[in-house]
Amino acid sequence: MRRKTIHTLVLLFAFGALSGCWESTNVTFHEPGVYLGPSDDLSTDESALNDRFANQQDR
């Protein structure tokens, strides 16, 4: 009984350790220089950006 339990634990540990080596085969292609993320409202309005960072300047 004890030997069977030890073998089971060793197999479970080996399975857990090897499952961490799995890597997804999905490939994502990106276009260089093209940002596809969400839009940033502050990047187009320079005055809003200046107002936001007015209190964060160097001392």
Encode pLDDT of 1-47 as tens digits. 798 999 999 999 998 888 877 777 777 788 888 877 777 665 666 77
In order, the DSSP letters of 9-46 are HHHHHHHHHHHTT----------TT---S---HHHH-H
Sequence length of the chain is 59
**pLDDT given at position 56:** 78
**pLDDT given at position 43:** 61
pTM value is: 0.36
